Amino acid sequence: MQSVATPGNESSVREISRPRKLQVLGILSGFTAGAWLGAAEAPTKLVSVGVSPMVISLIMVTGVFLARWSVPALILGTSSVRADLRRAPHLIIWALLAGCLWAVANTMTIFAIHDIGLSIAFPLWNSNSLLGILWGFIFFNELRQAGWRRWTGVLGGALVMCVGATLLAIASSTQAPAAHSLRGVWAALGAGMLWGTMYIPYRKAYLSGMNPLSFVTFFTFGELGMMATLAIGYLGLSPLWHELTSARDVLFWLMLGGFIWVIGDVFQQYAAKYVGISRGIPLSNSNQLWGLLWGIFVFGELRGSGAFTYMQVIGGSLLMMLGVGAIAFSSAAGKEQAQWQEAARRESRRYHIAEDYVEARMQGMEMAGEIRPPRTVWDWMLVAVATAIFVFFATLARAPRLSFHWGPAVLLIAATLALLLVCGTTLWRTTRFN
């Protein structure tokens, strides 16, 4: 097989240290994903009660849909997305499947929080990282020949994060009355199962060489289609429309939450690509820590709580950071990387995808002689339409009256943007967003 080429067609020499660079990039992407997925909770906190959870979820997904088309169009161009799909058309099925899994899981979390409260529900669905490790091992050769130290780092780190998440969730819990506790437990476990399984399509796409930005554009059809079906099925078309029109003041905040969530998810996709799902999912799950920072410092959620609650928060946060650190220092080494490549070759053979293309993309490169299609007028139109829709809803939005602390908000926004800048620049320099 011909040796493959080049980040952005610039260098023809494959660097020996490249796998290490990609591991670091994947870990950085996981951290950044956690920050942005956590920040996505902030706009939704501006929405007062009175809006159906199903409507909240549907509107967020609408914002997600707009972002999932406009962001890739801006960064990559839809011609590149089409070129990716021509090489691996079968992945459309997995993208739709993953989108459907996400939507059903998200709906289940609404029931779970309602029935058993966040404190019990969150740790239960956070088990998705353990399931992700299992699927990664069984299906994609992750952690094979990794050695006991890396196994301990990844599995131990994920378990420590689960304990930390439990403490944080208990501290931040609203403690909803446990009217249907068994139903809530099933819903939370179901959400964890669906979300953990959703990473099978993610990993499959990246072992087939697909660009994460291409994958998410089709993922979102499954997401929006399933969410709209569930919302119409649960509420009925006419009541749903009535709720949407009566909630027009807050639609923008929910769509903005969806937009921010997409930025986080894009980095989560790169984490899944470059460090695998066994490490990428736990790193992204640090979003709970960021969500809590927003809740405590910006929205004053724990004001008036006792010392015990603050001890839980500090202890939970330390455990989360410890778990993240353990996973970050357990990156895949040579033998495990060889197992990943074997899994990628298996996908190439099964779906007749050119091995040089898959190998290049696994290395975050383009094939020798490959020219990325330029952006077209359609890309700019997509971006313009998405922007116009956001601006339109922004004109309808009203700023709610609630406790909001600008100082910590500015600090958190600056930290989140700094991560975006650092990780985005590193991704561009290392992979040209491949």
Binding site for other proteins (CB under 8 A): 1-2, 87, 89-90, 93-94, 97-98, 100-101, 104-105, 107-108, 111, 135, 139, 180, 183, 186-187, 190, 193-194, 197-198, 200-201, 204, 230, 234, 348, 350-357, 367
CA nearest neighbour of 268 among 209, 189, 198:
198
For residues 39 and 409, give the distance between their C-alpha atoms in angstroms, rounded to a whole number: 10
Residue 99 and residue 222 in contact, taking contact as beta carbons nearer than 8 Å: yes
**Which is nearer to other proteins, 193 or 322 (by Cβ)?**
193
Q: Tokens at residue 16, please? A: 């020996």
Smallest gap from Cβ 298 to other proteins, in A, equals 33
The residue whose two tokens read 């996505």 is 40
**Which is nearer to other proteins, 352 or 401 (by Cβ)?**
352
In single-letter form, the type of residue at position 420 comes to L
Q: Tokens at residue 114, please? A: 């309602």
Q: Please state the three-class secondary structure of 342-357 as a single string.
A: HHHHHHHHHHCCCHHH
Smallest gap from Cβ 260 to other proteins, in A, equals 26
Smallest gap from Cβ 350 to other proteins, in A, equals 5
Smallest gap from Cβ 367 to other proteins, in A, equals 8
For residues 380 and 196, give the distance between their C-alpha atoms in angstroms, rounded to a whole number: 35
For residues 124 and 118, give the distance between their C-alpha atoms in angstroms, rounded to a whole number: 10
**Which is nearer to other proteins, 190 or 264 (by Cβ)?**
190
**Which is nearer to other proteins, 93 or 418 (by Cβ)?**
93
Smallest gap from Cβ 105 to other proteins, in A, equals 7
For 241-260, give one letter per residue: b (16+ CB within 10 A) or e. eebbeebebbbbbbbbbbbb
Smallest gap from Cβ 142 to other proteins, in A, equals 14
**Which is nearer to other proteins, 349 or 398 (by Cβ)?**
349
The CB-side HSE value for 344 (13 A sphere, CA atoms) comes to 25
Q: Tokens at residue 219, please? A: 């993922």
**Which is nearer to other proteins, 79 or 426 (by Cβ)?**
79
